[in-house]
Amino acid sequence: MSMAEKKLGMGLSALLGQDEAEFSEINSGAASQTVSVAHLHPGKYQPRHMFGDEELHDLAESIREKGVLQPLLVRPHPEQVGEFEIIAGERRWRAAQKAQVHEVPVIVRDFNDQETLEVALVENLQRQDLSPLEEADGYHRLMHEFSHTQEQLARALGKSRSHVANTLRLLTLPGDVKDLIDRGDLTAGHARCLVGVKDATELAQEIVKKGLNVRQTEQLVKAGGAVSEVGKAPAPKAVKDADTAALEQDLTNMLGVKVAIKDKGGKGQVILHYKSLEQLDAILARLTHGTPNDDA
């Protein structure tokens, strides 16, 4: 197995070139210290733009009762001596202020700008805290500010390359459609159907108004704006969403045989098409030990 594949799914440690033992120091309680909330400032590389009032209220109640259990990750502020910039944990900092807690535990690390953005993005992704557009914006910044490729991001974050590519495509949507995504009126699945589509704003409004699901949205886009009443729209034959089709192609390229994915409601089958027992043995070898040339 190649080194890149060994790092696949390691997340932050892969991005920063650290092994797991070294990275564990970030979350080590022994390395923490207490800092006044007044000396902490939101990070300029924070990928998260929205902090819901309800979730902040719930977290504040927990902090009021139990305190801040997990230290914030910070770095010395690049422009203000004696102050700190939050890398990961801004939500905890905001909630602590609502709970009128005046000091919080922090771990101070001397990260540069690239490492700061990478840590903030991965930390939020691992917690599933980011909206689809926040995730897309984080990928875009990592690629354009720090020259990461889609393939590198996919390996380091434990995502498929197609997921990274399809998420980035959301940034090309009109502003009105992005607003619907941010409000939660449209899911990422709905939004991907509208990428590159003429009159995407009007179609998005119709999707929300009629409460269409993703399959019905695909039909609406394919029909150029015409769709049956909600609940009566027949599912198109053998139409796969962009993520499923891209994942099929990724698996086909990885295993060297045609791969088909049949999904229904989050459950389904992965079908491998092989032409001989020798080819089947080769597939099993790749799944178990990696590609034959990895150890060469």
Q: What is the rounded CA–CA span in Å between residue 75 and residue 116?
A: 8
Q: What is the rounded CA–CA span in Å between residue 125 and residue 9?
A: 12
> Would you state the pLDDT for residue 231?
43
CA atoms in the 13 A half-sphere facing the CB of 223: 15
Strand bridging mode 103-108 / 72-76: parallel
Residue-level length of the chain: 296
Domains along the chain with CATH numbers: 3-116 (3.90.1530.30), 131-222 (1.10.10.2830), 242-289 (no CATH)
228 in helix, strand or coil?
coil
> Would you state the pLDDT for residue 236?
46
Under-70 pLDDT residues of the chain: 1-31, 48-52, 124-129, 225-242, 265-266, 289-296
- Cα angle, residue 130 at apex, residues 37 and 85 outer, rounded to 5°: 30
Cα dihedral 107, 113, 116, 122, rounded to 10, equals -170
Cα dihedral 166, 169, 174, 177, rounded to 10, equals 20
> Would you state the pLDDT for residue 104?
94
Answer whether 40's CB lies under 8 Å from 102's CB. no
Which contacts (CB < 8 Å, 24+ apart) does range 2-7 have? 2/290, 2/294, 4/155, 5/155, 5/290, 5/294, 7/155, 7/156
Q: What is the rounded CA–CA span in Å between residue 115 and residue 135?
A: 17
> Would you state the pLDDT for residue 9?
35
- Is 90 an annotated catalytic residue? yes
Answer whether 173's CB lies under 8 Å from 199's CB. no
Q: What is the rounded CA–CA span in Å between residue 140 and residue 168?
A: 7
Catalytic one of 90, 123, 134, 248: 90
